[in-house]
Amino acid sequence: MKTELTLQDRSYTLYRYPKLSNEQLQAWDAGDEYLINHVEQLGLASDSRILILNDSFGALSCWFSSQHQVTTLTDSFISHKGIENNLALNQCRDIKLLTSTDGWPQHIDLVLMQIPRNNRYLTWQLNQVRRHYGEHCPLIAVNKAKEIHSSTLKLFEKYAGETTTSLAWKKHRLVFSKLNSDRLSSIDPYTTWPVQEESLTLGNLPNVYSGESLDLGARFILDHLPADLRYRDIIDLGCGNGVLSLKLKRLNPEASVTAVDESYMAIASAQHNFTINQLDQKNCQFIANNCLDGFEGQSQDLVVCNPPFHQQQAVTDHIAWQMFCDAKHVLRSEGELLVIGNRHLGYDKKLARLFGKHKVRLVASNAKFVILQATK
Ligand SMILES: C[S@@+](CC[C@H](N)C(=O)[O-])C[C@H]1O[C@@H](n2cnc3c(N)ncnc32)[C@H](O)[C@@H]1O
């Protein structure tokens, strides 16, 4: 797998985060290369103020930091770590690294964007970019050509301004917008809806997983969350909007509940949802993290997990595996991991490998999902 990004007369060594020994995927894509080549041809004044949105692992941040003042904003804790590590590895100049819930920088000359998968997040970012900057500040975005639909370009037109596109290069296309849309009013960042059967209201910031309706897996596992005084310390791993944490706290009011996700917007939404549902936050924590990196071993009684099977654009099961390994590490003896997954994902085998076959039991199943419990 290639780790050297060499363009023009410069080279950077770039790794994804976390760094895997058998990594199959590169830390940048042809879209990053297209954007870099294009911007280099513009002959920007040195020290231009560039805002980079959604840089995956720092290819853009590393490259542009050499001659410009870079601010990078992403929603991903994993991207943050990847960007920091790659900047350090390549001895790059400092940049300003922001999360998606930070305030936006004031004076920017150029915005570069890796177009996010999620249209609600794209819409919100375009609205923020337009509101904060004006026609003097071009926006150049990139994605795979097949992901740029006419509906995508309509969002750019509506929320950013006049929009054109480039020819495709290595299956990617650039999108150029002038920030001159007259739609300046702010979009409400929260999408809020009720889960009637649970008497809960869920607010979802734009990049939260399943932010427009309850995930089907979550709906199923909600009916199987346990209540017991022996659960003193509980983790909701990959908490999204926090729906499982909320119910766990209701069922186990004395327990400490820790909601963990790699999306800053998920963490902010989970905390917001404790507030709007008037749940006691005294023993609760909301932590942006990669799985349970750095968590103390033997410190928890229950870990509940509805794992992801995507990391950015890539379909992968290494995150679920990492989550299960980390859960085992943090559980006390006799502690339990409760997992929901699609039937076809084979989590039963993974858990049996890790915990032992007779320590894994089927809690419930339906046509689509299984809920499994593994005891340490
Ligand atoms: C399938 S969703 C589950 C969300 C929520 N718990 C539910 O049941 O609706 C998986 C969540 O895992 C988060 N996630 C993905 N990779 C992660 C990682 N490495 N560490 C922590 N969370 C991660 C995603 O952001 C997403 O919110």
Neighbours of 259 (CB within 10 A): 30
Last-in-domain residue among 177, 212, 237? 177
Percent of the chain with pLDDT over 90: 95
Q: Which band of pLDDT confidence, cut at 50, 70 and 90, is reported for residue 24? A: confident
Neighbours of 193 (CB within 10 A): 15
CB of 248 closer than 8 Å to CB of 304? yes
Same domain, 345 and 229: yes
Secondary structure percentages of the chain, helix, strand, coil, to 5: 30, 30, 40
Same domain, 162 and 257: no
For residue 58 and ligand 1, the question of a CB distance below 6 A is answered with no
Q: What is the mean pLDDT of the chain?
A: 96
Does 335 fall in a domain?
yes
Count Cα neighbours of 330 within 13 Å in the Cβ-side half-sphere: 23
Closest ligand 1 atom number to CA of residue 263? 25
Same domain, 157 and 60: yes
Is 287's pLDDT higher than 90? yes
For 6-17, how does the pLDDT look when each residue is reduced to its tens digit (9 = 90+)? Answer: 999 999 999 999
Q: Whose CA is nearest to atom 7 of ligand 1?
A: 218
Closest ligand 1 atom number to CA of residue 217? 8
For residue 261 and ligand 1, the question of a CB distance below 6 A is answered with yes
Q: Which domain holds residue 93?
A: 4-177
Q: Which band of pLDDT confidence, cut at 50, 70 and 90, is reported for residue 291? A: very high
Same domain, 163 and 20: yes
Is 312's pLDDT higher than 60? no
Same domain, 294 and 339: yes
Does 49 fall in a domain?
yes
Same domain, 120 and 222: no
Percent of the chain with pLDDT over 70: 98
Write down the pLDDT at residue 310: 61
Same domain, 158 and 14: yes
Cα 317–319–325 angle (5° rounding)? 110
Does 98 fall in a domain?
yes
Same domain, 115 and 231: no
Same domain, 154 and 228: no
Mean predicted confidence (pLDDT) in 138-148: 98
Last-in-domain residue among 177, 202, 235? 177
Give me the CATH number covering residue 55.
3.40.50.150
Is 52's pLDDT higher than 80? yes
Same domain, 216 and 171: no
Does 183 fall in a domain?
no
Centroid of ligand 1 to alpha carbon of 304 (angstroms): 11
118, 207, 319: residue to mutate for ligand 1 pocket, most atoms within 8 A of CB: 319
Write down the pLDDT at residue 266: 98
**Cα separation of 167 and 11, whole Å?**
26
Same domain, 136 and 200: no
Last-in-domain residue among 134, 155, 177? 177
Closest ligand 1 atom number to CA of residue 221? 8
Does 182 fall in a domain?
no
Write down the pLDDT at residue 318: 84
Same domain, 171 and 202: no
For 322-340, how does the pLDDT look when each residue is reduced to its tens digit (9 = 90+)? Answer: 999 999 999 999 999 999 9
Q: Is the dihedral of CA 167, 173, 179, 183 positive or negative?
A: positive
Does 184 fall in a domain?
no
Centroid of ligand 1 to alpha carbon of 238 (angstroms): 3
Q: Whose CA is nearest to atom 15 of ligand 1?
A: 308
Rounded to the nearest 10 degrees, what angle do helices 264-276 and 243-251 cross at?
40
Is 144's pLDDT higher than 90? yes
Number of domains in the chain: 2
Write down the pLDDT at residue 315: 55
CA dihedral 121, 122, 123, 125 (to 10 degrees): 80
Is 311's pLDDT higher than 80? no
